Amino acid sequence: MLEVHRCRQIDWTPSAVVALATSFDGTLVAAARENGAIEIWSVAAGSVGWHCQLRIAGRKDAEISSLVWCESEDEDEPHGRLFSAGLDGFITEWNLRTLQPKEAVESMGGAVWQLAAEHVMRSKTTMRSSRIQQGRSSQEDESGSDSEDASSNGSQDEQEDPENREQRVAVACEDGCVRIFAVSDKKLGMIYRQSFPRVKGRILSVAWTWDGTRLLGGGSDGCIRCWDIASNREVYRITAGIGGKGSASDFCIWDLLVLRDGSIVSGDSSGSTQFWDAKQGTLLQVQTRHDADVLALAASPDHRSVFSAGADGQVVQFHRVDESSRMTDNASTSSSVDFVMRPMGDRWVYIGGKRTHTHDVRALAVAFPVIDGDLPVQKRRKQIQKSEHPKQTDYRKWALSQTGMLISGGNDAKLFTYPANRFLSFHPHDICPAPERPFIQLAHRSPLQGGTLMMAQHPTQVDVWKINSNESALNMDNRSMLKAQPLILLARIKCKSSGHITCSAISGNGCLVALSDCQRPRLYQLEHDFTNSSVSEDKMRRISKKKLPPVLQATHCMLFSADSTRLLLVAPQLSIWVVDTESMELVHTFKVPLETFQSKLGKAVIVLMCTSSDGQWLAAATNSGHVVVFNMETMRHHWTVPVFDGTPATAAVFHAGFSNVLILSSSANHLYVLDVEMKVPGEWYKRNGMHIAKQLLEFPGGIAGLSLPLSPDSTSIIVYSSSAMCVIDFSKLMLEEEVDRAHDDAFNAAGNQEHGNGTRKVVVHGNGNGSKHDGRSVPKKSIGTKFVPFRNPVLFLGHTGLSSVFVVEKPWSEVLQQFPAPVFRHVFGT
């Protein structure tokens, strides 16, 4: 019998998503939030596998308005270089290894409303070798060759080889001017190049043509202007307020999109999505499907579908229908990619919309999932067709590989994904059920109160609470609820720097608390023994600060050893600092062997650490999927765990009784049990690994953490996400091994039987809960696993005893009340 103690006292106020940007190779998505934080998400081809790899902490009074990825010539940066701009008027380049700013450049025009990177014209060989271009390389080759021809008519700068030319970024500024900056690999940040004449009002949106010779800008005066970059003059001006249902006086162009066929798409404050001809600047079509402002636009990979999102919480799809195959008269003679390959009579048809967000949708992006292996699409499809038994651990639920994934974010702090090629065929998937959840850690051996302490990290402060034993308890079997008792706040440590707290940790005895911001790490000691149940205000402030070695820099991950005598901090260049908490000296620096990452592109970052209960082993996981094990006794590198499924680890924990047993979970919802001393998978995993993989296939949400009982003799573990938890009993699974094998053998025999006509029956595996044949479902009994769904989003789960767990949750309805009211709220039934 497992008792669940629930707590709702922890403050949780996630920030709105204000910008989305796809990496240069299309496999990552950067999401900027209103508090200045930036999240780097890995893209998956389905509803499982989405994972926040990195998180850059926000800053006070530094709201980000736009994100953009630019090309990098460094082979270690295949995703590109990430830039952000905000209302503070600075353009910042970020170091994705240290999660710190590289360089900040002033926009010279006040607040920046939007950034737009120039389209990079790559060679045909490069495009065919790129993973995101598979399946559509022919279309890119045509547009790339036309763009190279069109660049010959430009200035001397435009006549340079597009592959050797610096990539340019257009900046929409508050003062009504569009400025162009260049991204150079020889220098950090951006270099100012030119600016266009200032216009009345603000420039809210910018977009490049595909040949890079013209630039479009939408302003707060309701006009879309087209500038020629070579001559620095305005080519034409579109008064967008005429086609929509708004007036020019209060008309704003919030977003612009340029398609490969030469069409311009604009989203404005009237709720209209308008399509324009890029050559003449004339209106082609108007679609008014939103009840409020259209704030974001995105295009499918083939540019035949356009998605729009706005303040009404809707995401709408428009599709281009070819009503005529006749080409324009100048299609054969025009050299510009913007004015060819557009049949006459094409119309954009409204397909449908989805209202998944409760508040305004402020950003859209299209990314491409990472597929396993480097085989071409045609070969992979042939292998799948020939295979009679598909992989049962395949986690792709409703999307196919090599297809774009649409991501939307807004004021409700949520991120939803949709298959771009089948937008209306499947329900959207919430990849972030608990956005920006606070980091929570338990200290079980605390001499301060003789009980369990809980540390909760917030953007500007760290709180230390005492957990009462009579906290609200919920029996997992009979669902009986006990009377709830509030937590006791013991200490509150506030960070007074401009940057938010990046990481924190509490020692096992509860006497030490460490935290770090963007400047340096800090260590505090709780000195007083609070004997009273009520803590006065003056005692809450009486904590002492300990001086750390000055060589330590800001970090994004830290951890105390099991005996609280060592403080471990992630250092630059894949290193880990080891600090003695008594002498306050740097005693050692672990370094990850560089040959570990020769088979993985990109610069890896240590994002997760855990230590064994006896203090002998230290495991560090990176965002590239590698796990490195160090021996704390010999202070040497011990083992580099091979990458199993190509996805990074989301949680790691050592067993309390068997200190050499390491349990890992990956973003693909796979569970691994390793013997780090012998450098092999554990015996339990060898026998039950595939069985657990099939059980966790339908686990709701991505695995967020693992929790083990404190007893060395425990045989169970809890795998939890924000939506559910799964209790796994190692001993019962071992006993049921023979039953499972007999079930599999019987089912395989039934699935491979031949019918009277001589044909062999093909077995189609379902969602992992059972297998299907003859139209009936054969459920698979599993005694060792038990799934329990959560009613509310869970922020943390941890064991407080052998048969009791502590759960921190928050009803989403209470979180929504903290958000500003949406601009438009749909009334159902009207």
pLDDT in tens, 520-535: 999 999 876 544 555 4
**Residue 732 pLDDT grade (very low, low, confident, very high; cuts 50, 70, 90):** confident
Burial of 742 (0-12, 13-18, 19+ CB in 10 A): exposed
Same domain, 327 and 443: no
DSSP state of 659: T
Q: Is the dihedral of CA 507, 58, 79, 666 positive or negative?
A: positive
Report the pLDDT averaged over residues 89-113.
Answer: 93
| Backbone phi, psi, residue 241, to 5° | -65, -15
Same domain, 382 and 449: no
Q: Which long-range CB contacts under 8 A does 769-773 form with residues at least 24 apart? A: 769/697, 769/698, 771/747, 773/747
Mean pLDDT is lowest, of 48-62, 430-444, 687-701, for: 687-701
Report the pLDDT averaged over residues 790-805.
Answer: 92
Report the pLDDT averaged over residues 764-774.
Answer: 36
How many helices (H) does the chain have, and how many strands (E)? 8, 59
Mean pLDDT is lowest, of 3-12, 368-377, 657-666, 734-743, for: 734-743
Q: Residue 220's domain is classified under what CATH number?
A: 2.130.10.10
> Whole-angstrom Cα distance, residue 139 to residue 698?
37
Q: Which two tokens stand for residue 213?
A: 């010779």
Mean pLDDT is lowest, of 341-345, 427-431, 689-693, for: 341-345
Mean pLDDT is lowest, of 200-204, 562-566, 639-643, 658-662, for: 639-643
Same domain, 403 and 451: no
Same domain, 392 and 507: no
Is 173 among the domain residues? yes
User: Residue 741: which residues within 8 A CB-CB, separation 6 or more?
Assistant: none
Res. 85: pLDDT tops 50: yes
Burial call 336-351: b when 16+ CB within 10 Å, e when fewer = bbbbbbbeeebebeee
Same domain, 412 and 443: no
What CA–CA distances, in Å, run from 170 to 192, 203, 215, 229, 298? Answer: 10, 11, 8, 11, 18
Res. 537: pLDDT tops 70: no
Same domain, 381 and 490: no
How many whole angstroms from its chain centre is CA 172? 26
Same domain, 354 and 451: no
Residue predicted with more confidence, 769 or 540: 540
Residue 400 confidence (pLDDT) = 56
**Residue 742 pLDDT grade (very low, low, confident, very high; cuts 50, 70, 90):** very low
Residue 572 confidence (pLDDT) = 86
Residue predicted with more confidence, 711 or 553: 553
Mean pLDDT, the chain, whole residue set = 80
Is 632 among the domain residues? no
> Whole-angstrom Cα distance, residue 748 to residue 737?
17
Res. 825: pLDDT tops 50: yes
**Residue 242 pLDDT grade (very low, low, confident, very high; cuts 50, 70, 90):** low
Res. 218: pLDDT tops 90: yes
Domain count across the chain:
2
Residue 124 confidence (pLDDT) = 34
746, 695, 702, 694: which is closest to 723 by C-alpha?
702
Is 295 among the domain residues? yes
Query: What is the torsion angle, in degrees rounded to the nearest 10, for the CA atoms of residue 560, residue 563, residue 566 and residue 570?
Result: -30
What CA–CA distances, in Å, run from 627 to 620, 623, 635, 785? Answer: 6, 9, 17, 26
Is 587 among the domain residues? no
Same domain, 388 and 490: no
Same domain, 275 and 180: yes
Residue 451 confidence (pLDDT) = 74
Residue 756 confidence (pLDDT) = 40
Q: Which long-range CB contacts under 8 A does 635-640 form with residues at least 24 apart? A: 635/578, 635/588, 635/590, 637/590, 637/591, 637/592, 637/593, 638/676, 638/679, 639/676, 639/679, 640/593, 640/596
Is 626 among the domain residues? no
Report the pLDDT averaged over residues 457-481.
Answer: 69
> Whole-angstrom Cα distance, residue 418 to residue 420?
6
Res. 753: pLDDT tops 70: no
Residue 410 confidence (pLDDT) = 95
Residue 20 confidence (pLDDT) = 97
Is 751 among the domain residues? no
Residue 538 domain boundaries: 438-468+484-551
Report the pLDDT averaged over residues 159-163.
Answer: 50
DSSP state of 437: P
Same domain, 366 and 420: yes
Res. 68: pLDDT tops 80: yes
Mean pLDDT is lowest, of 11-20, 40-49, 50-59, 152-161, for: 152-161
Mean pLDDT is lowest, of 291-295, 362-366, 453-457, 764-768, for: 764-768
Res. 187: pLDDT tops 80: no
Q: Which two tokens stand for residue 342?
A: 């557009």
Same domain, 219 and 195: yes
Collapsed DSSP state (helix, strand, coil) of residue 151: helix
Res. 425: pLDDT tops 50: yes
> Whole-angstrom Cα distance, residue 298 to residue 261?
15
pLDDT in tens, 277-296: 988 899 999 999 999 999 99
Residue 736 confidence (pLDDT) = 47
Report the pLDDT averaged over residues 501-505.
Answer: 96
Same domain, 405 and 462: no
Is 42 among the domain residues? yes
Mean pLDDT is lowest, of 45-49, 297-301, 569-573, for: 45-49
Single residue among 501, 529, 551 that ends a domain in this structure: 551
Burial call 563-573: b when 16+ CB within 10 Å, e when fewer = ebbbbbbbbee
